[in-house]
Every structure is written in structure tokens, then in C-alpha cells.
Structure 1
Amino acid sequence: MTGLLPTTPPVLTARELSLFQALVEREVGIHLSPAKDALVANRLARRLRELGLTSFGAYYAYVTEKGHEAEKVRMIDSLCTHETSFFREPQHFELLRERVFPEWMAQANAGRRSKHLRVWSAACSTGEEPYSIAMSLLDAFPPGSGWSLEVLATDLSTWALERTQEGLWSLERAATIPQPLLRAFMLKGVRTQEGLMKAGPELRSIMRFGRVNLNAPGEWPAGPFDLIFCRNVLIYFGAEARGRVIRGMLQRLPPTGYFFLGHAESLIGVDVDVRSVSANVYTPRTGGMSRF
């Protein structure tokens, strides 16, 4: 015997798929439909090869065995979708610039709110969303204006969070960043860094990072937040988990706060008391938290 692993990739059976579906939904709230069988097989096949396992059933037994939590995190990482871009869904950033920020400035000038802003990008992927928010905030509330800013970027994926903290992207990703913001807040790579761009020091100064499982609200960061972006992630959640996440996030907003969903998402079927501000943007009628 040579001891070599078979070259033919293993087949993901219907029973094995159902085991992974239940595990992923239980752990992180993401619902993998039966149509995702090829995606699951392709993304997990590499883990099988690296661990020397010959079936998906053996891999399931491995990740559910006590002491293999790190591999379970890697498995979930591999099944997460990380599609994103700077200033994705630009109408949301237009709303911030033209309505939300002037509203907050007027409230602060009238003594009805503090000049401290906290934002949560709750599924930040590789960082394009939270850095877009940070650029928008710094443009409207620059250093020296008397406002303090904090953008919390969280994700389930450890790999994505590492990319976010690094704040380094291909220069091609700059295409959707407005030129004034690109020049003000991003650094262009030269010599060994040519073809790359990096978040500048002003952006980095207001960023915070953390791994957060949206299916475990008890582990979420404490509010209140002035903005919560939870875009293009809840479409992967089952109905029960989706409702739980939305209700928990709205409880972390004051009445002056705003909640942003992605273009393919809505609050249909979720019993919450909110006011629709714009497409997929809501504010609580009575916030779960308020400021001193």
C-alpha cells in the first residue's frame, strides 16, 4: 500500500449535507439551502485534503468532536460569502450625507444630543463597508470639529477580520470611492506596495474590530449605536434567527439612530415598531437605548 489518498474527490451525500446544514444554522444562524450542495462540497473539500480525511461524514465528526473548535471556525469561515465593495449601495451614503449628518449636527447645536458618534458595521467582510462609513463620518465631522467618532467593524469570519484590520486592498477597489475621499483618507502604494492602497492614519484612529457571531446576541457589543449597518447578510439566515437579530439590533439604537439593511432584505415578517426612512433604512419609533 502506498498510503496515498484517493485522487477522486469525495461525494457529499444528502445526509451529510443535512448534518452540515443543521450545524451551521445552529451555530451561526445561516441557512444553507439544498441548492448549496455544490458550494458546500467545493469549499469543504480543501479542508478534507489538508486533514487527510476521505469523506464529508468523517469531516463532520471531526469538527463536532470536543477540542476541535478552531476547525469548526475554519469550516464556517470557508462557507461564508465575502462579496463587498466600497460605497456599496451608494444611496445609503447619500442619505447619510444629505439627511442624517445635518440632522445630528442640528440636534447637537440645540443641545439635544452629544457629539459622540458610534457606528456598528455588523457584517464587515473584508472592511470596505466600515471604512466607507469612516470616510463619510470624517468628511462630515473632521478632527477638530468637536465630534468624537468610533466605527466598530465585526464579522464572523476570522479571515475577513484580519483583512479588515490590515486595511490594505488592491488599487482596483478604489474605483467606487469618491475622488475627494480617496485623496483625503487613502494612501497609494509605491515601490514594493505598488498597485495597493491602504487606509490612512485618520481612518485607522477611529476603527475598532471584533469577531461577533450574530446568532449569539449575548456576545454582541453593548449599545447604544447611532448607526447599525447589517447589510446583505440576513438573507442567509433562517426566519427565526433573522427576526432575533433585527430585534436585538433595534434595541441598541436610540430614537435618533438608524438601521440599514441590504437591498435584497426587508423587515417583512418581523414584528418591530419602526419608521421607514428610505429604501431599507429604518429608525426606531421608541429606541431601546438613549443617551445621557
Structure 2
Amino acid sequence: MRREEAGAAAPTLAPERAIAARDFAKFQALIHREAGIWLAPEKQMLLVGRLGRRVRELGLGSFDAYYQRVEADPDERVRMLDHITTNETHFFREPRHFELLEEQVFPRWIAEAARGARPRRARVWSAACSTGEEPYSLAMALLRAFPPGSGWELEILATDLSTRVLERARAAVWPLEKSREIPVDHLKAYMWKGTGTQEGLMKAGPELRALVRFARLNLVDEVDASTGRFDLIFCRNVLIYFDAPTKQRVVARLLRHLATDGQLFLGHAESLSGMGLPVRSEVPTVYSHAARGDAGARSSP
């Protein structure tokens, strides 16, 4: 920690005059352009709350000065987006999704593999992984259904816009109270309880960590074709932050990476109804390609 020199006061921003309307409009446009996130006018205080501390840390006296820094410095632009993004998440969030996997999707894969209709391979994309609870929940579900020695090749790609949360996700360490979100059998099988200096923490075991690969990815950007196709894509509680045109583009992009018979999982408050996309709803918030044919690669790496 750094101690401020005597007599050197950090710049302060008066809360009621912290950001001018014109400066908010500039950040609004920049954030939408860079991340697809649309901050409505009533989100002005949210922006002030999330960026104000960073403005003071840099010794800047106004949001206009910070905007100039962000425009000129790509690294600072990434930090700014880190502060803007919302990263609330839980283990096994929206349990019905995991019930669908365990009761219908995984048994179907096993049956198809047994008759030679699919390879013993499963690829999953957690497209807004935050601090890792979602991809590690998926890893636990996959390992329970396809344990080591079963002959299945498993892979989870976990991506997020925020470098800050990706660092935490890679560390795979959480407060022990998060263990209440995990089914007891999964907790005992796949999580380590901290002792000594790590008391009060838990960490994902090596089997889980070996399954998940993390990368920074902006959903509004084109995804490299070499990323391949996925049997499952989880993009939950992200589309609610996009305006309609951005949402349309992002979902169309996700669908290009969804295997012919794959499923796209959205958050409980999200829907593709009325968007004119070539999808059908299997159950609420779970979608698949509207036309299922033999064409196209399945889970291509």
C-alpha cells in the first residue's frame, strides 16, 4: 500500500457535479462501441460510482480528463470496462438448466455415442464466465456424468470481457460460504477446503481446473473461426445489458459456433422471441437451431 505524501490531497469530485451530461454521453457512446453495453440516461450515477475512484487514483480532476486518458490508452480502456461490467454470479445458478443437462442432454449424448452417432467428445462455452462459478459448475456436472476413464474428451472454454474477473476465475479460489451453493456430493468430490493461511477459503480441485480454459473475449467482436463449434453455449444474464441491434448481432455470432444439435442457454430474464433468428425454444431460455440437419460440423475443435 502507498501512503500519500503529507499535504498532498487526492483530487475530489463533488458527487452532485461529478460528470457533465456531455461527458456522460461520451462515455455512453464509448462503452456501447467497445462492449455493446448500453447505459441509459438514468445510469449516470452508476457510471460515477464505478469510475469515480479510478479518476481519483489517477489524480485527475474531472471525468472529461479521464475520458481523454481512456481514448488515448488502450490498457486504461480495458481497466475502464473492467469497472463498468457487472459480475454477479453463483455456483449452479438457475438449477433447472443443470437438471436439464443431467436428466436429458447428457443421457442423450451417451446413448448417441453408444450407437456411434456422435464422438465421445463434448465442448462447452461459458461465454460470460465472470469469476468462474459457471464454468466450474459445468465442469462438475460434466465430470459426474463423464468421469475419468469413461473415454470422453471434455473441454470448457470460459471467456469474459473483464480481465479483473478472469484473474480471479483462473485462481479458482472463493470464500468458503460459497460452498453452500454447491450440491454436497459435488462439493466433496471436486472442491478443496483451505487450511492454515487458506482457512475460510475453498479451491477447485485439479480435475476441474484441468477442464477449463480461460480467455478474454469481447462478445461484440468477431470470434475467430478456429474457436470451432460447441455442444453447449451458456450466455446467461448478459444480453439484458445490450440494446436490440447488439443483442441480435451477438446471438447470431453465438449461433455460428453452436453445433448442429447443440443448445444455447440464456438467463431467466432473457428471450429470443420476436428476433427473427433461426432458433427454436426447447424449454424457456434454452434454444437450439431451428433446422436440424446433417450438415455442419459437430463439436469441431
- TM-score category by the smaller chain? over 0.9
1:52 aligns with 2:84: no
* 2:124 equivalent in structure 1: 119
Which residue pairs with 1:12 in the alignment? 19
Query: Are 1:208 and 2:213 an aligned pair?
Result: yes
1:122-133 aligned at under 5 Å gives the runs: 122-133=127-138
- CA distances 1:124-155 after superposition (whole Å, capped 9, x unpaired): 00000000000000000000001010011100
Offset, 1:218: 3.8
Q: Which residue does 2:37 correspond to in 1?
A: 30
Pairs within 5 Å for 1:137-286? 137-219=142-224, 222-286=227-291
- Structure 1 residues 6 and 134, CA gap change in structure 2 (3 angstroms): closer
Query: Tell me, which stretches of 5 or more residues in structure 1 are unaligned?
Result: none
Residue of structure 1 in register with 2:28 after alignment? 21
Of stretches 266-275 and 218-227 in structure 1, the one that deviates more from structure 2 is 218-227
**Who is 1:290 aligned against?**
297
Secondary structure of 1:257's partner?
Answer: strand
1:48 counterpart SS class: helix
Paired with 2:196 and 2:296, the residues of 1 have a C-alpha distance of: 49
Tell me the equivalent position of 2:3.
Answer: none
CA distance in 1, matches of 2:222, 2:145: 31
Q: TM-score, normalised by structure 2?
A: 0.92
Write out per-residue CA displacement over residues 212-261 of structure 1, whole angstroms, 9 at most, x where no aligned residue: 00010245762210000000011001111111111111111122211000
> Matched residues in 1 for 2:83 and 2:226: separation?
24
- Name the structure 2 match of 1:91: 96
Q: Which structure 2 residue ranges, 5 or more long, are not aligned?
A: 1-6
Q: Distance in 2 between matches of 1:182 and 1:110?
A: 33
SS at match of 2:230: coil
Separation in 2, partners of 1:7, 1:16: 17
CA contact (8 A) 2:12 2:61 kept: no
In the aligned structure 2, how far is the partner of 1:219 from the partner of 1:212? 10
Is the contact between residue 223 and residue 289 of structure 1 (CA under 8 Å) also seen in structure 2? no
- Aligned residue type for 1:206: L
Alpha-carbon shift at residue 286 of structure 1 (Å)? 3.4
Aligned CA-pair RMSD: 1.6
Is 1:41–2:41 an aligned residue pair?
no
Paired residue secondary structure (2:258): coil
- Decide which moves more: 49-58 or 217-226: 217-226
Q: What's the CA shift for 1:270?
A: 1.9
Percent of residue pairs bearing the same amino acid type: 55
What's the offset of the Cα at 1:47?
Answer: 1.2
